[in-house]
Amino acid sequence: MSDQITVRRLAGALGAEISGIDLSAPLEEATIVALRAALNLHQVIFFRDQSLTPAQQLAFGRRFGPLNIHPYVSGMADHPEVMEIIKEPEDRLNFGGGWHSDMSFLETPSIGSILYAVETPAFGGDTLFASQAAAWDALSDGLKATLEGLKAVHSAGREYSATGPSAQKRASMQVAEAEGLAGEFTHPVVKVHPETGRKALYVNPAFTMRFEGWTRRESKPLLDWLFEHSRQEAFTCRFAWRDGSVAFWDNRQVWHYALNDYPGQRRHMRRVTVDQA
Ligand code: SIN
């Protein structure tokens, strides 16, 4: 018998809040199946009032696939798969402060990320999510036909270089420099979701460098247009964190953006990232 979960949709394009579940407990397989179905359908799912140790967050994440060890951000000493995302009151930059899809710069990108709020600011620090499936649906047939024939080159080199936005968070997070180390990997511009068959745009401003076979300069106008298109309000939802909140998003069809609007306050999150099995 699975837990009696309730799913409440939060916005038109994506997002649902799930209640009636304790993520720290060993969950029935039927519950995992129900959560996977909710994630596929709603693209990002949220939970409130959870209490997770790093080991419990790892155990929950592992029910969905192997967990990633980030190549450029150090994990916890005793749990390298758990990444601490901390912004101290004196930090100015925030990790994840730009639209992106986690780990699209890998040869085999992750399928999802599970973020747990340990300590949240009194105000601000929400995360925005944008459905790249809805962004795809809204394109004309002509542009869809063009994009279906394209692949794009992704790299962590810009984001995690010494002058890049993520590397500059070294004060609070152990971020290594990727410049010169990061490889380039090519993925289709249109991702077909392996479980639902739904199509989604799979390019993002942080990690997509150019179209395969095109120069950076040739790629820029179309990529910029797609980035603008894909973050339209109609495709988004916004999550206001509280201590103990959890978000689980599907990186194959969702972008996210951590807002940096809580100066002088501390925000402490822990993330595990689920790889393809
Ligand atoms: C991330 O990009 O994984 C961080 C998102 C957040 O802290 O809200």
Ligand 1 atom closest to Cα of residue 258: 8
CB under 8 Å to 116, separation ≥6 — which residues? 50, 52, 57, 244, 245, 246, 269, 270, 271
pLDDT recorded at residue 15: 98
Is residue 100 annotated as part of the catalytic site, yes or no?
yes
Selected catalytic residue, list 42, 250, 271, 275: 271
Pairing status of strand 127-131 against strand 236-239? antiparallel
**Contact status, residue 250 vs residue 104, Cβ threshold 8 Å:** no
Written as one letter, the residue type at 240 is A
Is residue 154 annotated as part of the catalytic site, yes or no?
no
Start-to-end C-alpha separation, the chain: 26
Nearest-angstrom CA–CA distance, 171 and 19: 36
Distance 166 CA to ligand 1 centre (A): 11
* DSSP H or E run through 144: helix 141-148
Selected catalytic residue, list 42, 210, 256, 267: 256
> Could you confirm whether domain 6-274 is CATH 3.60.130.10?
yes
Is residue 267 annotated as part of the catalytic site, yes or no?
no
If one residue of 84, 85, 207 were mutated to test the ligand 1 pocket, choosing by the most ligand atoms within 8 A of its CB, it would be 85
If one residue of 269, 270, 272, 273 were mutated to test the ligand 1 pocket, choosing by the most ligand atoms within 8 A of its CB, it would be 269
pTM for the full model?
A: 0.95
Ligand 1 atom closest to Cα of residue 256: 2
Predicted confidence pLDDT, tens digits, the chain (277 residues) = 456 899 999 999 999 999 999 999 999 999 999 999 999 999 999 999 999 999 999 999 999 999 999 988 899 999 999 999 999 999 988 899 999 999 999 999 999 999 999 999 999 999 999 999 999 999 999 999 999 999 999 999 888 876 777 766 655 667 776 666 678 999 999 999 999 999 999 999 999 999 999 999 999 999 999 999 999 999 999 999 999 999 999 999 999 999 999 999 999 999 999 999 8
pLDDT recorded at residue 1: 43
